[in-house]
Amino acid sequence: MVDVTAEQITQTEAVDLYRNTLNFNVISRYDPAIKQLLFTSSHCVVYKFGEEEDWIKTDYQGTVLLYLRDYKLPDANRADPLNYQDLQNLFCYGLILLNRTKPENFSLGLLSNKMNRHFLPRGLPHMPMFEMAVELNDTIIIVKNVLGEVYGLWVYDEQDRMKLFKTLEYCLNNDVTNNQ
């Protein structure tokens, strides 16, 4: 006799769960610090803001995902300055585009501006740091990373574009919750 007291899910919910599980597993190969998927959209194209002050389409297009990372705070009693690996460990969020056009994926580490100001007020040795920024300009989400590089994310679906923008804005402008 089969016990039917378990909650049933729809076929659509099952497919979404399966897709999220696959995406989580794929990302974990690139970033083992992944903790939770926050956002997924099936079609995104990455642009880079060039030296000529124009947008240059990159070779990155595919599924874009935003996720929470298991970040590591630097030791408070540390005497030496933070290094590049410390910065990698400090990223609270990650954005990755699983590329359909070539094997190389696009990724950005995201750091809340509060943590940036607290841990990196003078940057890294020989490497200035900038506050991250995000803005929505018509159909492009503009993201400035901690190195000052500017990228444009064109997300096909307008609802997904707004959701990604709002989620990025929240990640950069709010304090990160407890990492435990």
What CATH number should be reported for the domain holding residue 43? Answer: 2.30.29.30
Residue 5 lies in a domain: no
pTM as predicted: 0.86
Does 4 reside within a domain?
no
Mean pLDDT of 6-34: 87
Residue 2 lies in a domain: no
Q: What CA–CA distance (Å, rounded) separates 59 from 97?
A: 11
Identify whether 107 is part of a domain. Answer: yes
Domain enclosing residue 100, as ranges: 11-173
Residue 86 is assigned to a structural domain of this protein: yes
Question: pLDDT (tens digit, 9 = 90+) per residue, 32-44?
Answer: 999 999 999 999 9
Q: How many Cβ atoms from other residues are within 10 Å of residue 64's Cβ?
A: 25
Residue 121 lies in a domain: yes
User: 85 in a domain, yes or no?
Assistant: yes
Position 115, amino acid: M
Structural domain count, the chain: 1
Instruction: Quote the CA–CA distance of 94 and 107 in Å, as a whole number.
Output: 7
In a domain, 84, yes or no: yes
Residue 51 amino acid letter: E
Q: What is the mean pLDDT of residues 150-176?
A: 94
Question: Cα–Cα distance between 75 and 111 in angstroms, integer?
Answer: 17
Nearest to 154, CA basis, from 62, 66, 26:
62
